[in-house]
Amino acid sequence: MSFRGVLVPVATPFTADLAPDKGKFIALCKAFLAQGVAGLAIFGTTSEANSISGDERMRLLEQLVASGVPAEKLMPGTGGCSITEAVVLTRHAVRQGCGGVLLLPPFFYKGVSDDGIFAFVEHIIQDVSEDGLKIYLYHIPPMAQVGFSVELVGRLHGAYPDTVVGLKDSSGDWSNTEALIKAYPQMKIFPGSEIFLLDALRAGGAGCITATANLNARMISASYKCWQEPGADARQQTITKIRKAVQTIGPLVPVIKSYLALKTGDPGWSVVRPPLIAMPEDVVVELDKELTGLGYEFPGVT
């Protein structure tokens, strides 16, 4: 399978004692698929993956697949600072039948060279040694600081064209996304925000993988499906305004989860793992008023 369209980096619900809430997680994933998204990019930044152990992530993935969610619709994050852990997570995802994996660069050591990052990814590919492995590189310099340069993407794809097949660009820099799309039209390039969805599609991009699809999957998916029809620019303007309203009031993960708590009436949705903390309710109530004024309607999560 080759991913194309809108993918949701699914928020991970936790219980009051900070354990992953399997039931809520499965229900949320199924709800997004019912809203028409192309796939689920679980265990990325929005999933708080770097606050979740490898064992917890593998167990949740197994439970999700066992629940009937199609494995080919899943793009779990399997990157990390350790080659060993990244290999274990990546091999596990492939053997579960996942359509691809989203691979962070090794992000602890700063100022590392392209040669070092290339060697890291190459070791993972060679150690996993699975024919079904499809890697989507995860470029998120605002968080990781270490990233995949345009040139390095070309080196990796050139060396492993059937394995390194795409990239999520969460740089927030449209010029970088555009450069990647133009340089590697054979790859699936996804901006990390729906703000760039229409521009990306017109340039030859594959869609978007966006945190705010946790709140607005149906509208973003509709914009993707109708991008060549009249009204595409107006639809883009609407989803852009909604995204900007959400991302300007605080860190995206607590905002999204606290907003889910408000709209579902279930305070459990606001639980995040420290060092993140939930958003104050009054801030989220004001966001709700703003979104309502933009024509937003909460689609539900079940």
Domains of the chain: 5-229 (3.20.20.70)
pLDDT value of position 300: 79
The 8 Å CB, 24+ separation contacts for 183-192 are 183/150, 183/153, 183/154, 184/153, 184/154, 184/157, 186/157, 186/161, 187/153, 187/157, 188/2, 188/3, 188/4, 188/136, 190/3, 190/7, 190/136, 190/166, 192/140, 192/168
Handedness of CA 273, 28, 211, 160 (dihedral sign): positive
Residues 6 or more apart in contact with residue 175 via CB below 8 angstroms: none
Q: pTM higher than 0.75, yes or no?
A: yes
pLDDT value of position 1: 64
* Residue recorded with tokens 């109530």: 285
Q: Quick check: 293 and 286 in contact, CB under 8 A?
A: no
pLDDT value of position 150: 98
For the sheet containing 164-169, what is the strand order?
Answer: 101-103, 135-139, 164-169, 188-191
pLDDT value of position 55: 97
Angle of CA points 224, 302, 4, to nearest 5°:
25
The helix/strand/coil state of 99 is coil
φ, ψ at 135 (rounded to 5°):
-105, 130
pLDDT value of position 302: 65
- Dist. CA 238–CA 219, nearest whole Å: 9
**pLDDT per position in the chain (302 positions), as tens?**
689 999 999 999 999 999 999 999 999 999 999 999 999 999 999 999 999 999 999 999 999 999 999 999 999 999 999 999 999 999 999 999 999 999 999 999 999 999 999 999 999 999 999 999 999 999 999 999 999 999 999 999 999 999 999 999 999 999 999 999 999 999 999 999 999 999 999 999 999 999 999 999 999 999 999 999 999 999 999 999 999 999 999 999 999 999 999 999 999 999 999 999 999 999 999 999 999 999 999 987 76
φ, ψ at 152 (rounded to 5°):
-65, -40
Cα 10 from chain centre: 7
- Dist. CA 296–CA 216, nearest whole Å: 8
**DSSP class per residue in 194-214:** GGGHHHHHHHT--EEE-TTHH
